[in-house]
A and B are shown apart, each in its own frame.
Chain A
Amino acid sequence: MANMNLYSRGDRLFVITNMVLIGLFAISTLYPFIYIASLSMSSGFEARAGKVLLTPVAFTLEAYQYVLSDSQFWISYGNTFIYTIGGTIASLAFIIPGAYALSRPQLFGRRFWNLVVAFTMWFNAGLIPFFLNMKDLGLLDSYFGIIIGFAVNGFNIILLRNFFESVPQSFEEAARMDGANEFQVLWKVYLPLSKPAIATITLFCIVSRWNGFFWAMVLLQDEDKIPLQVFLRHTIATLSDDQEFGNSLMNANYSFETVSAAIIVCSIIPVLLVYPFMQKYFEKGILLGGVKE
């Protein structure tokens, strides 16, 4: 940033107005989260009446008791962990060696192989052929299908390939002298040098897996395999019409609104926990992605 001196009154007015506007934008971003958190801790009756504005009204944790005692909630939570961890490991296992090979000048047909990867970024067959293909492969209602079927992403390969290409050749010379093969060069030279890029890709994988919804909804019918996002959607979409839930409201201190809010809070918490670590990396990641050729 330029100069830190504030000379004129005009400048001061400008800077202060600017800060106020940014402050307002930040508050408007934060407010819905606070509202949901407060709603989840309010009594069902007050929530229904629209009394919750900023802080919990008639504080109670009954909505959480309801959510946490639902075994389906825990099953879907566990599934989300399986899909996130499994999917991220699968992505890295494909992407790292693939990107490394594509970055090597001696690879025969390098331009062609790069095109094979990049073409998938501009053209894809669309929902229906992808769905029919998964069906033909027998990957409906399958953990394996979700973990492997979404492992590779052209953008991430190109991003990492660019990073590998930017590593000066001189770094690997010593290893080559010692007779290291390609796997050893990748493992001992390139991986340690590429920590920021790999961290970025790992974090993007984790977040997209944690948040993944559409294909999980389409491909998984078995209630015991659905991830948290699909469970959350089912709850928000169907709970208000659910007979059993309606009956349980009679002598309870929660409502449809507070229960929905409580599930939302439960599924945001892990994202909030990793967010501070991510922030360090994603700004860099965006910039790496910006220099794809």
Chain B
Amino acid sequence: MSSLSRPQRIWKHLRREWQLYLMLLPTVIWLLVFLYKPMYGLQVAFKDYSIFRGVAGSPWIGFEHFQVLFGNDQFIRALKNTVIISFYSLLIGFPMPILLALMFNEVLNQKFKKSAQTIVYLPHFISSVIIAGIVITAFSPSAGIVNTVIGWFGMDPIYFLTKPEWFRPIFIGTGIWQEAGFQSIVYLAAIAGVSPTLYESAVIDGASRWQMMWKITVPAILPTIIIMLIIRIGNILEVSFEMIILLYQPATYETADVVNTFIFRQGIQAGQYDFAAAAGLFNAVVAFVLVITANSLSRRYSRVSLW
């Protein structure tokens, strides 16, 4: 082997293993064409982009778009809304699946447990268009069930989806309703890994189920909880903007418009591609830094990391 030169070794390796590279090729080409080429296209954020000149041909203008961006009230508002919506989703939405997993774990009747799980996992698989359709129908001022119930208490109907103060509760509530069940799977798996002998000896010591839940189950799944929390914090700018596009309207932009919906309107709908790409680049860089930070924190404190 050592008698061969480097090019000869590579040639020999390729002749023997060419099939592997052939298998990898389509994926690599795909990634280059659909994900890495747009990264090259990100330069429009620093350019005065015109469709006719294309990405490479448009003139550079430096940080002008970013200066405009940070002086833009709508963008600042979108940034603020993103953080606020994420924060509340985290605060209320994060504990829910943990609680649900702990509760499922205390159900003794397996048939009941299985059916309840089947039901609460379901909304995760339903499209956001349908979920939004259900929300719009349920909260509609004339026919919606919510206003019917409000009517029983003698209150006037509220057109919820046009009220800025109602947007966040409805959006965050919908998210929890849709995902809490499915997210509990991770914690249920962690619970399933807890050694049964711990519970057996606790029973001998006369522990109640409530005590076992807090003293055995919760500490045992704490590492999983911490990792999930770190991942969530890393993704704090990831608001499910598809659902926001489906639920918001100009009347509620004040509380509903987030960075990605802002980019969508300014860029794809209004055609200000360069400006919107600058907003997107800002978002992507902050998100990237958050994920990297979250991951190194996770690696340091729990010795578990995404990579």
Contact = CB atoms under 8 A, between A and B. Distances in A.
Interface of A: 1-6, 8, 10-11, 14-15, 18-19, 21-23, 25-26, 28-30, 32-33, 35-36, 39, 47-50, 52-53, 93-95, 97-98, 100-102, 104, 106-108, 113, 116-118, 120, 122-133, 136-137, 148-149, 151-152, 157, 181-183, 186, 207, 210-214, 218, 229-230, 232-233, 236, 255, 257, 260-261, 263-264, 267-268, 271, 275, 278-279, 282-283, 286-287, 290, 292-293
Interface stretch (B38-46, B73-81, B162-170): B38-46
Contacts of B212: 2
25 contacts: A2-B200, A10-B208, A11-B208, A14-B210, A22-B100, A22-B116, A26-B119, A98-B24, A106-B20, A108-B13, A113-B24, A124-B38, A125-B35, A125-B38, A125-B42, A127-B276, A133-B33, A152-B31, A211-B129, A232-B129, A236-B133, A260-B133, A260-B137, A278-B125, A282-B185
B123 A29 contact: yes
A279 B118 contact: yes
Contacts of B104: 22
Contacts of A186: 23
Given A25-B120, A287-B189, A290-B186, A268 B209 contact: no
A204 B245 CA distance: 23
B62 to A, nearest CB: 18
Contact of B277 (A129, A137, A212, A229): A129
Interface in B23-52: 23-24, 26-28, 30-31, 33-39, 41-42, 44
B41 A129 contact: yes
Interface of A is mostly: helix
A95 B54 contact: no
A250 B179 CA distance: 41
B103 interface: yes
Contacts of A126: 38, 42, 263, 277, 280-281, 283-284
A120 B107 CA distance: 41
A97 B138 contact: no
Contact of A29 (B28, B122, B148): B122
Contacts of B148: 50, 53
Given A52-B145, A127-B260, A264-B130, 7 more contacts: A3-B199, A11-B210, A107-B24, A128-B268, A186-B23, A218-B268, A286-B186
B27 A133 contact: no
Contacts of A14: 106, 208-210
A283 B31 contact: no
B112 interface: yes
Interface of B is mostly: helix
A133 to B, nearest CB: 5
A122 B264 CA distance: 21
A268 B130 contact: yes
B296 interface: no
Interface of B: 10, 13, 17, 19-21, 23-24, 26-28, 30-31, 33-39, 41-42, 44, 54-55, 100, 103-109, 112, 115-116, 118-123, 125-130, 132-134, 136-138, 140, 142-145, 147-148, 151, 177, 181, 185-186, 189, 196, 199-200, 202-203, 208-210, 212, 242, 245-246, 260, 263-264, 267-268, 273, 276-277, 280-281, 283-284, 287-288, 291-292, 306-307
A97 B276 CA distance: 36
Contacts of A104: 20
Nearest to B128: A213
A268 B126 contact: yes
B200 A3 contact: yes
B134 A264 contact: yes
A95 B27 contact: yes
A88 to B, nearest CB: 15
A53 B145 contact: yes
B145 A151 contact: no
A6 B106 CA distance: 12
Contacts of A130: 34, 38
Contact of A28 (B122, B128, B177): B177
Contacts of B245: 214
A53 B151 CA distance: 13
B53 to A, nearest CB: 12
Contact of B276 (A35, A53, A107, A128): A128
A5 B207 CA distance: 12
Contact of B107 (A19, A236, A261): A19
Given A26-B116, A233-B129, A50 B144 contact: yes
A125 B181 contact: no
Nearest to A50: B148
A50 B103 contact: no
Contact of A97 (B27, B125, B129, B292): B27
Contacts of B39: 123-125, 129
Contacts of B44: 128-129, 132
B140 A257 contact: yes
A277 to B, nearest CB: 12
A96 to B, nearest CB: 9
